[in-house]
Structure 1
């Protein structure tokens, strides 16, 4: 199985599994960040060993879904994807997109109830 498909499968399992707990949002954010940290670690290991790499679009998608804290920790801990400037720019944009989505969802669900 390709590593990219495996990453998406893990992400889908994490997000689906969180629906069965009492605090799915918080558990989902925690698990997505841990999964993102693991993916960054795997990609760094694959880069060192010459194995199949995780595509940058997958790494950026994990940031959009909410794993950007795990991504920042993975970049710092593994010293991975810290020098590649186009990726850094796209990563910052993915973090901003995630924050805008969270704000929009918060307004949509909670801002409308205040009326």
Structure 2
């Protein structure tokens, strides 16, 4: 289970960085739906870290407030599961 969490968070971080790279070069972008799907599948921390590291999607209220909230919920659930 820990390996899954690490992998999905790294993937979400990576996809956020690739999307920012594509945005700067006006290339085909990753759908916001895909970014949210990765976050909901357990990658909220990675997506949030990517959002602030790459300064990507920080103006979108849903990302700015939704990702930290989802990350807090995921951390709480993980903490409860490990107890």
TM-score normalized by the length of structure 2 = 0.78
> Is the radius of gyration larger for structure 1 or structure 2?
1
**Aligned Cα root-mean-square deviation (Å):** 2.3
Question: How far 1:86 moved relative to its partner?
Answer: 4.0
Counting only pairs closer than 5 Å after superposition, residues 71-86 of structure 1 correspond to structure 2 as: 71-86=47-62
SS of 2:27's partner is coil
Would you say how many aligned residue pairs link Structure 1 and Structure 2?
82
Instruction: Between the two structures, name the one with larger relative contact order (CA 8 Å, sep ≥ 6).
Output: 2
Distance 2:61 2:12 in 1: 20
Change in 2 beyond 3 A, CA 1:27/1:42: same
- The 8 Å contact of residues 44 and 68 in structure 2, kept in 1 or not, is answered as no
5+ residue gaps, structure 1, are 1-24, 107-115
- The 8 Å contact of residues 51 and 58 in structure 2, kept in 1 or not, is answered as yes
From 41, 46, 49, the equivalent of 2:25 is: 49
